[in-house]
Amino acid sequence: MRDALIVLSLAGALASCATPQAVAPQPMSPAAERGMQFVTRSCAGCHAVNGSGHSANAVAPPFASVRMRHTSIGLERSLAQIAREGHGEMPPIYMTAAEMQDIVAYIESLEPVAAAPGDARAQRAAL
Ligand code: HEC
């Protein structure tokens, strides 16, 4: 009988372990997934694209701080301008409208963070 109680309470403990998984982060949407592939290929050389860490290029803001400073509409406009005119030290990048939407979906899926120390330009922009 005592053994049965132990088994029952173990089962209860296991069941309560399973519950937190229900509030685990949502899996990425297919659009965000495509956006992540695009930015890993085309942007990671300068920007930190994964939601943490420092950008390879110190003046290129990490995408998580871009996420904090832009609405999705503002971000899409800014990407359209970047595609046309380039930005800072980089030449224009060809992106289709669908690719820009994927990139916006990906950046929106990042946890927003304040600019990292050293991202001088990003910090100035945030003031
Ligand atoms: C050669 C380096 C380089 C590459 C590659 C690059 N960027 Fe940038 N990016 C920069 C720099 C530098 C800045 C800051 C420019 C400035 O503030 O004048 C910047 C700024 C930005 C901003 C504006 C951020 C803000 O503060 O509002 C966005 C959005 C952005 N980049 C998106 C992208 C995307 C999307 C890609 C890939 C398709 C990409 N960048 C690739 C160097 C790069």
What is the domain-level CATH number for residue 56? Answer: 1.10.760.10
Give the Å distance between the CA of 60 and the centre of ligand 1. Answer: 5
User: Is position 57 within any domain?
Assistant: yes
Query: What local confidence, expressed as pLDDT, does residue 126 receive?
Result: 45
Residue 19 has pLDDT above 70, yes or no: no
What is the spatial distance between Cα 81 and Cα 94, in angstroms, rounded to a whole number? 11
- Per-residue pLDDT tens digits for 77-114: 999 999 999 988 878 988 999 999 999 999 999 987 76
Q: What is the mean pLDDT of the chain?
A: 79
Whether the CB of 121 sits within 6 Å of ligand 1: yes
Cβ-in-10-Å burial (0-12, 13-18, 19+) of 41 comes to exposed
Closest CA to 38 of 111, 104, 99, 113: 99
What tokens were used for 52? 């943490």
- Per-residue pLDDT tens digits for 51-67: 888 899 988 999 999 99
Domain carrying residue 111 = 28-126
User: Is position 79 within any domain?
Assistant: yes
Give the Å distance between the CA of 88 and the centre of ligand 1. Answer: 7
User: Is position 21 within any domain?
Assistant: no
Counted domains in the chain: 1
